[in-house]
Homo-oligomer: A and B are copies of this chain.
Amino acid sequence: MGWGDLCSYGHPTQECGEIDKMVAEGMRFTQWYSADSLCSPSRAALLTGRLPIRVGVWGGERVFANDGSGGLPKNETTIAEVLKDAGYATGMVGKWHLGINEFLPGDGRHLPHHHGFDFVGTNLPFTNHWACDESKVHLAHPNPIKCFLYWNATLVQQPFRHDNLTASFLQDSVAFIHSNKDTPFFLYLSFAHMHTDMFSAPRFRETSRRGRYGDGLRELDWAVGEVLKTLVSLQIQHRTLVIFLSDHGGHLEICTEGGSNGILKGGKASTWDGGLRVPGIAWWPGVVAPGQVSQHLVSSMDVFQTAAELAGVTPPKDRIYDGKSLVPILLEKAPAVPTSKLPPSPRTLFHYCSDRLMAVRYGEYKAHFYSMELPTNYTEHCPSGVPKVEYYTSFDCYGPHITHHEPPLLYNIDRDPGELYPLPVGQYDEVIANILAAKLQHQASLVPGKAQCKETSTTLQPCCNPPFCYCNYKPASHR
């Protein structure tokens, strides 16, 4: 989902809904950054609190393939593992995309139950929604090879159907919450929406002014609302922090079907802010004050440290964490009208494309050492808002579409959030010197993890019924 897709983030025609109510009751972040502009590295960083380059989720196509042997390394500690040790029930439902099999077809050694999740419901170990499109707008038929649904570690549907997908995720999530209402619990619910896709259950179709993209958002919105209502109905909302996040920005090349990044430049796959900045909402009635807007610079990697602090556990001390606890910000009850300028967040964030350090966000500034070229003519590319070519990608982090900037291209993001006006060379030497020092310090500490996204082997392709790879079982939970 793009930074600008929600009514409360400024979209003029997306219907206001449950997520916007969540915003009104909680805290909306305007400068929440994902750790990466693609799915697998972003999720690895969210769950471990560490940059994807450290964790090893980089290389190849920057994401895990359906037939890959790589996955989130076992020596990485996830939020689920940390919280499980602290007595939390842990559950995972929805899109995983952090690896499937490692050595043998069906060994499932990278699946969520190996990463601290006791309960794993309906899940998509891998998705490429373009290949799974049932709308017949972009494809005649979904490709079963790339579109498979698991229940825990069992392949139950290939190709999966979208009609009941969100409802199944919700059903499993609500069941998990009900089962664990009397104990501390952690649920990682990861929707298939809004991954540059164009599906929704029938009852949400043609319910949005924005068309198919908006229909899907309305389904997602409904499901988020149901989760919150479950917490309220069980009266456990006062001891439950809910964080709503996107994994990266909208896919601009998909035109009106790729979502809106608001005024931010670029989108998915790039290190322009449109690729990295995401909606980020915290909801915790009675603790997080309602109607707050936080302009602090924060990262999805902060969720790990936040969870650890709230659970009172100390994360492993043998590694570097890139996140910081959000607890002080969440408890902050900012005055409705600040009386003076808030200092720019002193935070420094490192923006990578695979193993290449592309840009550094440093307080109000952002320095691009490398930047990715953007398509110049969306109008021609997108007759009536639908892309001409089946799939446009700019995933590669090396090549002629990458520009090296020496000195770095510098922007003041607070004043120029659209990255439109590079600051004049020679007038910001001190800022650049500080950024270079921070970059050197960071790089000196960096031990890249072994690239996990490179390893593929056709023998590892999940297939429920070889050689046909078609099936439709009832998930175990629903029997």
Contacts and interface: CB of A to CB of B under 8 A. Distances in A.
Interface of A: 4, 7, 9-13, 15-18, 20-21, 24, 30-31, 206-211, 214, 221-222, 225, 255-256, 260, 262-263, 277, 291, 293, 295, 336-342, 344, 364, 378-379, 382-385, 412-418, 420-424, 427
Contacts of A12: 30-31, 262-263, 277, 295, 417
A30 to B, nearest CB: 4
A218 to B, nearest CB: 9
Contacts of A30: 12-13
A207 B340 contact: yes
A415 B209 CA distance: 7
A210 B415 contact: yes
Contact of A379 (B18, B344, B417, B422): B422
Contact of A417 (B13, B337, B415, B420): B13
Contacts of A416: 256, 385
The winner among A10, A339, A344, A383 for most chain B CB atoms within 10 A is: A10
Number of copies: 2
Nearest to A214: B415
A70 B27 CA distance: 51
Nearest to A213: B415
Contacts of A344: 209
Contacts of A209: 295, 341-342, 344, 364, 414-415
A420 B210 contact: no
Contacts of A207: 339-341
Contacts of A413: 13
The winner among A211, A340, A341, A427 for most chain B CB atoms within 10 A is: A341
Contacts of A222: 337
Contacts of A263: 4, 10, 12, 260, 262-263
Contact of A420 (B18, B211, B378, B421): B378
A248 to B, nearest CB: 17
B422 A7 contact: no
The winner among A225, A415, A424 for most chain B CB atoms within 10 A is: A415
Nearest to A209: B414
A423 to B, nearest CB: 5
**8 residue pairs, one from A and one from B, having the closest CB atoms:** A10-B10, A12-B30, A385-B421, A209-B414, A17-B337, A13-B414, A16-B293, A207-B341
A276 to B, nearest CB: 13
A211 to B, nearest CB: 5
Given A15-B295, A383-B424, 6 more contacts: A12-B30, A13-B413, A17-B338, A211-B415, A256-B415, A379-B422
22 contacts: A10-B262, A13-B413, A13-B414, A15-B338, A15-B341, A17-B336, A17-B337, A20-B293, A24-B291, A206-B341, A207-B339, A207-B341, A209-B295, A209-B364, A209-B414, A210-B415, A255-B421, A260-B263, A262-B263, A379-B420, A385-B415, A385-B421
A417 B233 CA distance: 38
A425 to B, nearest CB: 10
Nearest to A345: B209
A293 B7 contact: yes
Contact of A384 (B13, B341, B414, B423): B423
